[in-house]
Structures are given as C-alpha cells and as structure tokens.
C-alpha cells in the first residue's frame, strides 16, 4: 500500500473519529460511555464514532447498521464486544476470513483476511435507530471508504438499511444506473452497484443482520450465514 494511500486512510479515520455533526448521537454516545453497563463499569468506553475495521486490501465489504451502545461504542471496533459480533466473527473464522472466532476489544489481535467491515451510521444511536438525516451525514465517510478499497469485488449488506445505503452510494457515484423498481432486500438477494468512479459494477448481496433478534429466533442460522459468505467469496474470485 502506497504512502499516500496510508495517509488517506489515516485522514479518513481522524475525520471520522472527530465528527460531531449529529447532536443527538453525540449526546447519546457520551451518556452511554459515562453511565456504562454494570458488567463493564470498570472499563473506559470508547464513546466516539467508530471507524471501519479490517483488511484495507479487502475484496469483500460487510456493511452493518451502527455501533452497539455497549459493543462497538464501548470497544471502539466494529462488531466487537457483543453477541452480533460473536456471530459474525465466528462465521468469518469458519471461512478462514478471520484468525479467531471471538472479538472482545481493540487489542485482542483479531485480524481479517480479504474482508473489511463498516457501517451506515458510525455512532451508537438511541434504540439502535439512526434517523434518515443522521445516516445522510455519515454518507461521506462510506463514500471515502469505497474509494479507498481499490480491490473491492463484492459488498454484503447486513440488513435492509445497509442494503439501501449501498444502493444510495451507487446512485451518488453513477446517477440513474439502478434498475426500476429498485432491487428489493432479502437474505440471499443479489444486485449490482458501482463502488467508485471509473470502476465497473460489483455484486451486492443481502444478508439478514446477525442481531440477537434474528439469530435467537432462527431467522438467521449458522448455515445461512456460512452459505452467504461462501457465495461472497465465490463472487469475489469470479470478479478477479
């Protein structure tokens, strides 16, 4: 990776971590970090916007919704320190895309291979529900990540909000190219998006979000997750 690219990543992370564009989210993430959950009362919460995490030469992007209040908002790393992360990193480990199945804190030596993880909203929102305006204010960070992931071949949307955000990104890059009606989200759904200016389209896959609401009810199972990641790997290979 070139020195200029490393500088671009560093600048993006600095800009993101320092962002205070959404007063409601700033207040909430700070309050959660101040009050804490009893199980984590001796920990220092991150309490800031959470940058993307993973292999910067990734061929696969996993796009989630937002940091969990006592997960990534506590640990400072996407899908780290909560049940959704346990599910996701366990699946990545089974596919050989992560060197370990658990993710507990920023210094736990977790490494991803060929995968980068990001989110639509970078601050933990109240009730896990960012507003449309809050998501719009984060769009520039996602656009910059897509631009820096120059080996990207497949994007996986973890949930409908992430699916819609990926489509909006593509529309910003290449207005008018999406089919009408717009592709509908579903687990296993497939369409294509433009990742960055001057690049050909790449597949976008839909996957149910690994929330406890989905995993504990059986809406999302391990075989479903494994099959989806396998499909993403096959498509990444097929697209060079």
Q: What is the strand order of the sheet 154-158 is part of?
A: 53-54, 115-119, 60-64, 154-158, 202-207, 190-193
d(CA 106, CA 172): 33
**Domain annotation for the chain: domains and CATH numbers:** 3-238 (3.40.470.10)
What pLDDT is stored for residue 202 in this prediction? 97
Cα separation values, 127 from 25, 137, 145, 179, 240, Å: 11, 19, 26, 33, 40
pLDDT by residue, tens only, the chain of 240 residues: 666 677 899 999 999 999 999 999 999 999 999 999 999 999 999 999 999 999 999 999 999 999 999 999 999 999 999 999 999 999 999 999 999 999 999 999 999 999 999 999 999 999 999 999 999 999 999 999 999 999 999 999 999 999 999 999 999 999 988 888 999 999 999 999 999 998 999 999 999 999 999 999 999 999 999 999 999 999 999 976
What pLDDT is stored for residue 34 in this prediction? 98
């Amino acid at each position: 990776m070139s020195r200029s690219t490393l500088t671009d990543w560093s600048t993006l992370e600095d800009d993101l971590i320092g962002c205070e564009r959404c007063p409601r989210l700033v207040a909430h993430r700070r309050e959660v970090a101040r009050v804490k959950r009893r199980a984590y009362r001796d920990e220092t919460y991150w309490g800031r916007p959470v940058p993307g995490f993973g292999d910067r030469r990734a061929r696969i992007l996993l796009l989630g919704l937002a940091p969990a209040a006592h997960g990534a908002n506590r640990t400072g790393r996407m899908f780290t320190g909560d049940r959704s992360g346990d599910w996701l990193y366990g699946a990545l480990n089974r596919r050989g895309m992560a060197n370990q199945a658990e993710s507990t804190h920023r210094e736990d030596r977790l490494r991803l291979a060929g995968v980068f993880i990001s989110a639509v909203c970078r601050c933990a929102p109240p009730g896990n529900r960012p507003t449309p305006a809050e998501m719009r204010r984060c769009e520039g960070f996602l656009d910059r990540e897509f631009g820096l992931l120059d080996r990207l071949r497949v994007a996986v949307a973890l949930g409908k909000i992430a699916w819609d955000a990926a489509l909006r990104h593509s529309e910003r890059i290449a207005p008018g190219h999406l089919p009408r009606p717009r592709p509908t989200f579903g687990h296993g759904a497939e369409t294509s998006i433009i990742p960055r200016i001057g690049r050909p389209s790449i597949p976008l896959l839909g996957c149910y979000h690994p929330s406890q609401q989905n995993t504990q009810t059986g809406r999302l199972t391990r075989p479903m997750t494994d099959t989806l990641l396998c499909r993403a790997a096959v498509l990444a290979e097929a697209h060079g």
